[in-house]
Amino acid sequence: MPFIKKPVTGMRDILPEEMELREHLMGIIRRVYTSYGFSAMETPVVEHIENLTSKQGGDNEKLIFRIMKRGEKLTGSEAELREGNFDALTDSGLRYDLTLPLARYYANNQAKLQKPFKALQMGSVFRADRPQRGRFRQFTQCDIDILGDPTNLAEKELILATTEALTELGMEKYGFKVYINDRRILFGMVKVAGFPTEDTEKILIVLDKADKIGPEGVDEELLSMGYDQSCVSRLRSILDSYKDSAESVRQMGLDIDNEDIKAAALNVADIMDSIAAMKSRKIDICFDPTLVRGMGYYTGTIFEVKVESFGSSVCGGGRYDHMIGRFTGQDVPAVGFSIGFERIFTILSEDGCKAPREAEKIAFIIEKGMDPAKLGEIFEKAAEERQAGHQVFMAWMAKNKKFQKEGLASEGYTDIREFFNK
Amino acid sequence: MPFIKKPVTGMRDILPEEMELREHLMGIIRRVYTSYGFSAMETPVVEHIENLTSKQGGDNEKLIFRIMKRGEKLTGSEAELREGNFDALTDSGLRYDLTLPLARYYANNQAKLQKPFKALQMGSVFRADRPQRGRFRQFTQCDIDILGDPTNLAEKELILATTEALTELGMEKYGFKVYINDRRILFGMVKVAGFPTEDTEKILIVLDKADKIGPEGVDEELLSMGYDQSCVSRLRSILDSYKDSAESVRQMGLDIDNEDIKAAALNVADIMDSIAAMKSRKIDICFDPTLVRGMGYYTGTIFEVKVESFGSSVCGGGRYDHMIGRFTGQDVPAVGFSIGFERIFTILSEDGCKAPREAEKIAFIIEKGMDPAKLGEIFEKAAEERQAGHQVFMAWMAKNKKFQKEGLASEGYTDIREFFNK
């Protein structure tokens, strides 16, 4: 039976040219983040199914690739199986993000880590999403997280580092902007507007669509769900009165009589002020009271970077102060920012971005039948060139040498040297 | 319910210090291989279950992590399930090596790849092995492969490049040696010695243990399996007469009247000659007629690098000319060499090897309560240092400043600057 040539659905093979650009871009991200003192670390791509399905991951939990138990543990599950309990067959799965495994990692290794711990992760995550253009089932995320700092110095550093990485990646020409909000502002607004607090999640799901359906769309949908005009109008009035500037969110904290909003608004304004106080870099940051972010685990500040011309979010993050506590019984403040590497890669590569050539590329083409000793001498010559920092590609001389040389030239081998038996 | 803190069985969290050394070592391997014109490329870690279980992977096929079908495809398998057919539940699995996915990749992308295609892969592979010290269920391999070259120029380059990588990694001080053999020599010897050819695999499994049980052990085990003393003695005599040097394997080809052995012996001797002809580097290479290598897919030359003082193989590879044909219907000559990264890493790191420090590490510790504008100025100072190529770690001043500074110093932050509100 012939084997299957295509990659599994939704995943892909990465060709050399693409790989070169990917490694170049990841190198830039790594360099910037390292300069901020973030330490690279790694978790396994396989995670306990109990952790993956612990209601931290929102909709991503529906997209888990589950791994089957093995050996006796598998066959021992036959009874459950006969009752249609497929869950009994699985003990682990592929991680859907880098945050949940990081929380487990911190809980497991706390004593050996610096405080605060500044983590850098670049790795594959997996989601069995409906296959569609530009969406993959295995994709790379580049995350930085600060664990153990309860103050917003952590948010400030994450925003500085991530925007610097974007700038170094060459994303400035596409115009990117940081949007910030706080979960507590969202909860507070819903309450102050008079909605039933138990409906908060439902209402936030509607608010999250503001980007796509506009303010009128949000209001209509809320009304169609049966909420009072007065609640909808109050929410609309808050959303329209306070937005964009640090002054505006600070004013929100002064005007609205809700403890959560007061604390969160001051916090957001303070973050924006420090970022704005940077003279050497102009970072576009804006308060967006409609920013929601889907993940269940966020507890405070949330943020996103959008590239206007592509209308899409390229980075996202926020504070998740309670997740580590689920592992250890004791909360550890935590906040993270994730670069959606595939999105950035697509923007840059479709715009013709290429990895700079780092070494001179030389091709040695050798007439067939060269004797071993003479070949040894040619190897020696190649070694000298490599020693000098060049890249040497070796191949037999093809029958159609012209065609071979054209092929090599198209791969950047313009210096082609020929070796004959003579 | 509290979450599970430990990684899944057999996998592990990589701490920052270990990660630094890993990245440093991988950087060396990448640099050497790139200088030989190998192109980095990548396949998904998830592979079709049909490909993974196609009898190419030898014993590794018993160690596959299988991924469950999702949605209707899963629930639709209930009928098979009731008959205990667990295989019906899975459509994919985690790759157990980088070679099989590479063959699929080549078959899928052939038209877009250089000829010969020199592939470099550094990635995770997965085997549900019995957990034991130094063995992990997710581990890194660094493979180079040459696809499309039927000649032994490919073997020669793989050996040169891999040994150069080992030298650059600092492995020379542990004394490593390349062992080479050819599957055709193995098959030929079994036949010439008079064993039944259908028992070849069984006999090779015994031969493969020569390392552990010695020549007497091999002979005894073969006798105990019921083979004739005459066969065992003939095999022993061949094994003892031809070994180590290029002259010896060449002589084997002259002495023994078997076409496969003649062709393969000349081939092995020729490879050894070219490697020995290198003047600038002394590469220890040795013919070992007892070298077997387990993978089902090898068809010709096979090789291994052993570190004598650790008695273990750190690299392995060989020729697998028929695998790509299983995907395309047309064979493509192929040969690869794989560095067992974890083994190398363990040897070096247990010997105290550390990643060299690349940037000056500066810590800014800041008194709590700093106002946003002043914090902005501190961010600016940090940006200047980072611009100058330094690494700046920022944190609040701890109550126990002495302890904090000691901690920072132990992580290499000897330049610690303090910022007060005043």
Higher model confidence: residue B216 or residue A54?
B216
pLDDT tens digits, A12-44:
999 999 999 999 999 999 999 999 999 999 999
Nearest to B394 among A68, A157, A407 (CB): A157
Could you tell me if B409 and B362 are in contact, meaning their C-beta atoms sit under 8 angstroms apart? no
Residue partners of B353: CB distance under 8 A and separation at least 6: B21, B170
Reading the block at residue B345, the tokens are: 């890493």
Residue partners of A62: CB distance under 8 A and separation at least 6: none
Inter-axis angle of helices A229-241 and A183-192, to 10 degrees?
140
Q: Is A65 on the interface with B (CB under 8 A)?
A: yes
DSSP B84: T
| Sheet of strand B285-287: strand arrangement | B39-40, B117-126, B138-147, B334-340, B312-319, B301-307, B176-182, B285-287
Reading the block at residue B417, the tokens are: 């600057």
- pLDDT at residue B295 tops 70: no
What residue of B is the nearest CA neighbor of A393? B37
Q: Which residues of A touch B82 (CB under 8 A)?
A: 82
| Polymer length of chain B | 422
In angstroms, the CA B201 to CA B260 distance is: 17
Could you tell me if B151 and B270 are in contact, meaning their C-beta atoms sit under 8 angstroms apart? no
Q: How, if at all, do strands A334-340 and A391-396 pair?
A: unpaired
The whole model's pTM is what? 0.95
Candidates A5, A25, A59, A128; CA nearest to A339 is A25
Higher model confidence: residue A63 or residue B311?
A63
Q: How far is B163 from chain A (nearest CA, A)?
A: 13
Q: Which long-range contacts (CB under 8 A, 24 or more apart) does B190-194 make?
A: B190/B235, B191/B258, B192/B234, B192/B238, B192/B256, B192/B257, B192/B258, B192/B261, B193/B231, B193/B232, B193/B234, B193/B235, B193/B238, B194/B228, B194/B230, B194/B231, B194/B234
Question: Do A36 and B105 lie within an 8 Å CB cutoff?
Answer: no
A397-A403-A406 Cα angle (round to 5): 100
Q: How far is A34 from chain B (nearest CA, A)?
A: 7
pLDDT band per the 50, 70, 90 thresholds, residue B1: low
Q: Which CATH architecture has domain A16-45+95-350?
A: 2-Layer Sandwich (3.30)
Element (H, E) at A172: none
pLDDT tens digits, A206-246:
999 998 899 999 999 999 999 999 999 999 999 999 999 99
Q: Which residues of B touch A126 (CB under 8 A)?
A: 46
Instruction: Give φ, ψ of B389 to 5 degrees.
Output: 95, 5
Torsion sign over Cα A223, A225, A231, A237 = negative
Give, in order, the Cα–Cα distances in Å from A48 to each of A54, A68, A94, B373. Answer: 10, 12, 9, 45
pLDDT tens, position by position, for chain A (422 residues)?
A: 678 999 999 999 999 999 999 999 999 999 999 999 999 999 999 999 999 998 877 788 889 999 999 888 887 777 777 777 778 889 999 999 999 999 999 999 999 999 899 999 999 999 998 877 678 999 999 999 999 999 999 999 999 999 999 999 999 999 999 999 999 999 999 999 999 999 998 999 999 999 889 999 999 999 999 999 999 999 999 999 999 999 999 999 999 999 999 999 999 999 999 999 888 889 999 999 999 987 678 999 999 999 988 878 999 999 999 999 999 999 999 999 999 999 999 999 999 999 998 889 999 999 998 988 889 899 999 999 999 999 999 999 999 999 999 999 998 998 999 999 97
DSSP B225: T
Please tell me the predicted confidence (pLDDT) of residue A110.
95
Question: Residue ranges of the domains in chain B?
Answer: 16-39+163-350, 361-419
Nearest to A51 among B3, B126, B383 (CB): B3
**CATH homologous superfamily of B16-39+163-350:** Bira Bifunctional Protein; Domain 2 (3.30.930.10)
Reading the block at residue A322, the tokens are: 């309670």
Q: For chain B, how far is it from start to end, CA to CA, in angstroms?
A: 47
Q: What is the ipTM of this complex?
A: 0.94
Question: Do B16 and A275 lie within an 8 Å CB cutoff?
Answer: no
Please tell me the predicted confidence (pLDDT) of residue A295.
66
Q: How far is B270 from chain A (nearest CA, A)?
A: 6
Strands (E), A44-171: 46-48, 66-68, 90-94, 117-126, 138-147
Q: Which amino acid is at B48?
A: H
Q: How, if at all, do strands A301-307 and A176-182 pair?
A: antiparallel
